[in-house]
Amino acid sequence: MTARDRGLRERDLPPGGRFLVVGDIHGERDMLLAVLRRAGFDGHRDKIISLGDVIDRGPDSMGCVQFLREAGAVVLMGNHEAMMLEALNDDEGERLWRGNGGDWAEGVDVTALRDWAQTLPPTAELELRDGRRVGLVHAQVPMALPWHDATKLALGPDDRLDVDAYAPAPQLIWGRTRFRAALQLRQGAKAKAFKHDVATPALLLERCTVS
C-alpha cells in the first residue's frame, strides 16, 4: 500500500480474513510473533497493520521490519521512524534518535531501512463490511481537526512524506495528550485507533470488532 492509497476494505480480504492491528513493536520480534500466534494469525487470509514504532529499544529492529515486509503488512509512520529520518539531517537529530533507542544502528548500514521509512503513511482507514470506517494513526489526531483533513498530508511525487509541509502532521506522529484512549470517535471516521507510549507489541483490533 502506498501513501496515496491508504484505504483498506474488509470486503477485499479472503474469506475469513481479518485485519490485525498491532501497536508499538520496538524491535521485539519474538514478542510480536507470540502476539500473532495468540491471535491465530493466518498469513494467507489476515492482514497485519502496524501503527508505527516498529524499530528501536528492542533486540531485533531489522528482523521486525523484515517480517512485516515479508508478511505484506501495512505500516504507519511512528515517531521512532520519524526520528530515524530526522537523523539524516543533522547531528542533533542523530543524537536524539540514538538517545531514544536508536543506538542499535551503530555501525549498521540503515540506508535501505531509511528508504522504507520514507514511504510510510501517517494515517490509514479501514472500511468494514457494514460500512463503518476505522481511522488509524500512531499518536493522535488534533481535537479540532476532522479525520478527512488529517489524511491530507503533503506527499511528494514519489509518495514520500513531507512532514514539514502540513502543520498537524507532528501530532499524528508525536502527540501524547490523548494516548490513554485506545479508541476515540472522530468526525468522518466512526472510530480511531492509535498506539503510543507503549514499549511492547499489543493487538488493538481483531476481527474488526470496534467497541
Residue in this structure with the C-alpha cell 539524516, named with its chain if needed: 88
Kindly give the pairing relationship between strand 19-22 and strand 123-127: unpaired
In degrees and rounded to multiples of 5, residue 184 shows phi and psi of -135, 145
In degrees and rounded to multiples of 5, residue 56 shows phi and psi of 80, 155
What SS3 state is found at 48?
strand
Q: Which of 26, 44, 80, 148 is catalytic?
A: 80
* The three three-digit cell numbers of residue 55, written as one number: 524499530
Q: Is 80 a catalytic residue?
A: yes
Burial annotation 144-164 (CB, 10 A radius, 16+ → b, else e): ebebeebbebebeeeeebebe
Residue (of 147, 204, 199) closest to 172 by Cα position = 147
Active site residues: 80
